[in-house]
Amino acid sequence: MDFNESPEEAAFRTAAKAWLAANAPQHELPEGVMLDDTEEVMLGRAWQRAVYDGGYAGITLPTALGGRGGTGIEALIFAEEEARYNLPKGPYIGIGLGMALPVIGKHGTPEQIAAYADRTLKGELTWCQLFSEPSAGSDLANLRTKAVRAGDDWIVNGQKVWSSWAHRSDMGILVVRTDPSVPKHKGLTFFVVDMTSPGIDIRPIRQISGASDFNETFFSDVRIPDANRIGAVGEGWACCMTVLMGERLNQGGERGGIENLIAYAEATPRGAGTALDSGSVRMALAQALAEEQAGKSFQARLRTMVSRGENPGALAAMVKLAFARRYQQTSGLALELRGMDALAPPAGDARTREIQHDYIWSTVIRIAGGADEVLKNQIAERVLGMPGEVRMDKNVPFEQLK
Amino acid sequence: MNFDLSDEQKMLAEQARGLLAERVPFDRLRKLIDANAEWDEPLWRELGEMGFLGANIPEEFGGLGLSELDLAMISQELGRVNAAVPFASSLVLAADAIRLAGSDVQKAEWLPRLATGEVVGCFAYAEGPGDLLGRGVRQEGAKLNGTKTPVADAGVATLAVVQAGEALALVRLDQPGVARTRLDSFDQLRPHYRLDFADADAELLPRGGQIETLFDRAVVQAAFEAVGAAEACLTMARDYAMERQMFGRPLAGYQAIKHKLADVAVAVEMARSNAFYAGWAAGDASGELPGAAAAARLTAITAFEMAARENLQVHGGIGYTFEANCHFYYRRERTLAIALGNREHWAERLIAHTPGSQTKAA
Ligand SMILES: Cc1cc2nc3c(=O)[nH]c(=O)nc-3n(C[C@H](O)[C@H](O)[C@H](O)COP(=O)(O)OP(=O)(O)OC[C@H]3O[C@@H](n4cnc5c(N)ncnc54)[C@H](O)[C@@H]3O)c2cc1C
């Protein structure tokens, strides 16, 4: 075991640092300003293009996909250095790199890879994820949007929901039911879809944060060429698993860092000193910091497993579960230690406003990408080997389910 | 011993509950937020007409002279629906401060008008981040200087009770010496203001040393408000889980969800029990009040925090939409957890007032 960076890794960090110092500042977002969605995506594309030109796009993606073919550690190093700047990196970029490319890379044809990989890495194509439906979230395989074969095309009808940034995406990754006569996980097929296709109707949903960056996406007789099918007919569930695994491995830690909260406590007056003088605040933040550090080391272990070709499986769920809980707990605590001012900070106090946002956003982290309860089931069943819930819906043809 | 509410109290709660269920459907709250409204003024007027706003004001000053526990029935119901009215600011804090610390003349001048709701009061204590009570605002002679921020409901209030050191001062907000600036409030149904005083005319409330008692009494009401709100979250979560199908059966049938909501239910009943005791102590056993109020505060916040968070969690993605109703409580919960002092503050007070504790009262 060696926690130090290898000479190659250290050299990578030095180079990445220098490159970022020269390129990132002009792409930074203004502090505390809510950008218009269209503008944010435009800035996101431009930054991604710069990353591509710098040779840092898709660090872990194989060179065959146009990536750098680097290691997970390198990706982490770059992400750490990149996080020192306030850059436009939303789902509009993340879904393409973290979900679309891996699934296309693993299940797609060489033609599909050629069609999408390079343009996505350059920020030319933005992507959304069209999985969830009103009655299919945790129980994703319960989805009802259906596709019927018609010559060289498929005709899609149904409704997706919570589709982040679909209203500003060029392409979508889509899972639909192509065979209702087999059990729910078996009759699914995976596609990429051009979001400008006729018959797609995207309606933004207002969120509790005040933003409206996820959507209901309706499909009425939308034609998708069979050439857009990823993997075999009926292989949709396996494709989804590829996407969700990537989602889980990449989560955790990018926001709500505990060191920032310690600094926040120290910047909050209390009597003659600061809020950080309080024993209970110190205890809570130190515990959270220790857990955050554990999460980082845990992730390093998982990355090591991945680099050896092992599948961390439900272990990845542990990192996400622990992070989600801590994120809500500590952002809530930070508001409390701030006192009344946290409820209505002065206009210039961007830090408190960010923590308020964290407290709101933490609810999403506990739900999306595997909700707490679902992850606990996975850990119990796949890590501890405990039996699953008795299920009535697994081996019955979908069309016979109520 | 009879540790239950009286029939009259139950009826009062039912009456308030019926009225509020009708007047404050969730869509009403959405409308108020969209209008960036200061408050639900028609509801306030109606509460006034029904006498609710004079509940804790003595009969000689035009109120109903009800007990703290009676008042708590109204607080609980307002919490249950997330009502956007300055009940706590005006009645539980401002009116109570005048009643506790004011002169007879001050009481006669203000309490009758607070009791009808014609005058709205607010209570100013914080001065920016950190300590519960500010130290900057001072009263010199009949003038007040300094800044209080944030102050709940100061936009609709015409009268503020302002904490100035150990003293409490009465300040009219509609005078040139007071500037009000509306702040962006985390709780979208409870506006907060910054108040700047520049040689503002102010009157001292003559009976000093009442601030701690005032806060003790106010957190008892806040505890009932939190219990009402937590119960609303619990019911909402249960109802949703019954309806939502997951892997071929109702979500409510999964033990993970049952256990989660059972934990919330335990917390709510604990909180309610402490709140009963503190409500009783506030009226009939003032020696018990500091410890009882602090205990009620701590359990109420725990219950509401769990309930607000887990209610949203049980709803999944839909809980994150403005159209769903979880967010009203998720935001209000932070208001109730932080205003009047955070957990640490009340933990200190509880320890200080535990029989046998060597720590002197703060
Ligand atoms: C901000 C945001 C962005 C999103 N973006 C996208 C996107 O871009 N594309 C997309 O496809 N989806 C997206 N989602 C949807 C997300 O993937 C789902 O919300 C998630 O899968 C949960 O599904 P659900 O919302 O239907 O909740 P449900 O599945 O209905 O879950 C409700 C509750 O039940 C619990 N539960 C589920 N199963 C069990 C069980 N067996 N035992 C006990 N409890 C259980 C859950 O943990 C949860 O607490 C997004 C969601 C949010 C909030």
**Is residue B361 assigned to a domain?**
no
pLDDT at A309: 83
pLDDT at A31 over 80: no
Q: How far is CA A231 from the centre of its chain?
A: 22
Q: Which of B257, B258, B320, B327 to mutate to test the pocket of ligand 1 (most atoms within 8 A of CB)?
A: B257
What pLDDT, in 10s, does the model give residues B27-37? 999 999 999 99
Do residue B340 and residue B230 come from a single domain?
Answer: yes
| Mutate-to-test residue for ligand 1 from A130, A138, A251, A379, highest number of ligand atoms within 8 A of CB | A138
Q: Into how many domains does chain B fold?
A: 3
Q: Which two tokens stand for residue A396?
A: 């019955």
Domain boundary among B154, B181, B208: B208
With 0.90 as the threshold, say if the pTM is over it: yes
Would the CB atoms of A269 and B312 count as touching at under 8 Å?
no
Structure confidence at residue B162 as a pLDDT band (50, 70, 90): very high
Is 90 exceeded by the pLDDT of residue A384?
Answer: yes
Which percentage of chain B shows pLDDT scores above 90? 95
For residues A135 and A390, which has the higher predicted lDDT (pLDDT)?
A: A135
Residue B338 touches partner A, C-beta closer than 8 Å:
yes
CA of B235 to the centre of ligand 1 (A): 20
In the predicted model, what is the mean pLDDT of residues B344-351?
Answer: 96
B158 touches B174 (CB < 8 A)? yes
Ligand 1, atom nearest to B320 Cα: 53
Q: Is the domain of B193 the same as that of B321?
A: no
Mean pLDDT, rounded, of chain B: 96
Q: Domain limits of chain A?
A: 7-89, 128-235, 251-383
Tell which of B191, B208, B225 closes a domain: B208
Which of these CATH numbers, 1.20.1440.80, 1.20.140.10, 3.60.20.10, 1.10.287.3510, describes A251-383? Answer: 1.20.140.10
Inform me whether the pLDDT recorded for A253 exceeds 50.
no
Q: Are residues B143 and B217 in the same domain?
A: no
Predicted local distance difference test score (pLDDT) of residue B145: 97
Please give the pLDDT value at position A305.
87
A341 and B126: CB-CB below 8 Å?
Answer: yes
For residue B348, give the CATH number of its domain: 1.20.140.10
Query: B127-148, pLDDT tens digit by residue?
Result: 999 999 999 999 999 999 999 9
Residue B14 makes CB contacts below 8 A (sequence gap 6+) with none
Position A252 scores a pLDDT of 44
The CATH number of residue B44's host domain is 1.10.540.10
B296 and B247 share one domain: yes
Residues in a beta bridge with A130: A174
> Is pLDDT of B357 > 90?
no
Comparing CA positions, the residue from A49, A74, A97 lying closest to residue A307 is A74
* pLDDT beyond 70 at A124: yes
Q: Which residues of B touch A345 (CB under 8 A)?
A: 129, 183-184
Q: Does residue B1 sit within a domain?
A: no
Q: What is the mean pLDDT of residues A40-69?
A: 93
Ligand 1 centroid to Cα of residue A312, in Å, is 22
What is the per-residue pLDDT across A299-344, written as a single tens digit (0 to 9) for each?
889 888 887 888 888 998 999 999 999 999 999 999 999 999 999 9
On the question of a cis peptide bond just before residue A346, with omega within 30 degrees of 0, the verdict is: no
Mark whether B342 and B215 lie in a shared domain.
Answer: yes
**Residue A254: its pLDDT value, please?**
54
pLDDT tens-digit map of A164-179: 999 999 999 999 999 9
What was the pLDDT predicted at A247? 65
Same-domain check for residues B19 and B38: yes
In this structure, the residue with its CA closest to atom 23 of ligand 1 is A137
Is the distance from the beta carbon of residue B250 to the nearest atom of ligand 1 less than 6 Å?
A: no
**B89 and B104 fall within a common domain:** yes
Radius of gyration of chain A (CA): 22
Q: Minimum mean pLDDT among A292-301, A306-315, B63-72, B108-117: which range? A: A306-315
Closest by CA to A169, choosing from A140, A132, A199, A200, is A200
The two three-digit tokens of residue B45, written as one number: 């007027």
Give the separation between CA B234 and CA A5, rounded to whole angstroms. Answer: 50
Q: Confidence class of residue A61 from pLDDT cuts 50, 70 and 90?
A: confident
Domain that holds residue B265: 210-352
For testing the chain B interface, which of A163, A212, A340 should be mutated: the one with the most B CBs within 10 Å?
Answer: A340
Q: Which residues share a beta bridge with A256?
A: none
Residues B135 and B232 in one domain: no
Average pLDDT over residues A115-120: 96
Residue A250 has pLDDT above 80, yes or no: no
Q: What are phi and psi of A136, to 5 degrees?
A: -145, 95
Of B148, B182, B208, which residue sits at a domain end? B208
pLDDT of residue B359: 57
> What gap in Å lies between CA B52 and CA B46, rounded to an integer?
9
Q: B188 and B218 share a domain?
A: no
CB atoms within 10 A of CB B181: 16
CATH number, domain containing residue B129 = 2.40.110.10
Cis peptide upstream of residue B58 (ω within 30 degrees of 0): no
Q: From the list A337, A366, A377, which residue is nearest B342 (CB)?
A: A337
Residue B362: pLDDT band (50, 70, 90) is: very low
What percent of chain B stands above pLDDT 70? 98
> What are the tens digits of pLDDT across the range B262-304?
999 999 999 999 999 999 999 988 899 999 999 999 999 999 9
Question: Which ligand 1 atom sits closest to the C-alpha of A160?
Answer: 11
Give whole-number Cα distances, B269 to A167, B230, B234, B276, B342, in Å.
45, 10, 12, 10, 21
Length of chain A in terms of residues written? 402
Whether residues B67 and B97 fall in one domain: yes
pLDDT in tens, B212-227: 999 999 999 999 999 9
| Contact (CB, 8 A) for B116 and B63 | no
pLDDT tens, position by position, A345-370:
999 999 999 999 999 999 999 999 99
Q: Is residue B357 part of a domain?
A: no
Report how far apart, in Å, the C-alpha atoms of A338 and of each of A264, B233, B296, B327, B362 are: 8, 26, 22, 21, 20
Q: Domain check: are B218 and B346 in the same one?
A: yes
CATH label, A128-235, candidates 3.30.43.10, 3.20.20.80, 2.40.30.10, 2.40.110.10: 2.40.110.10
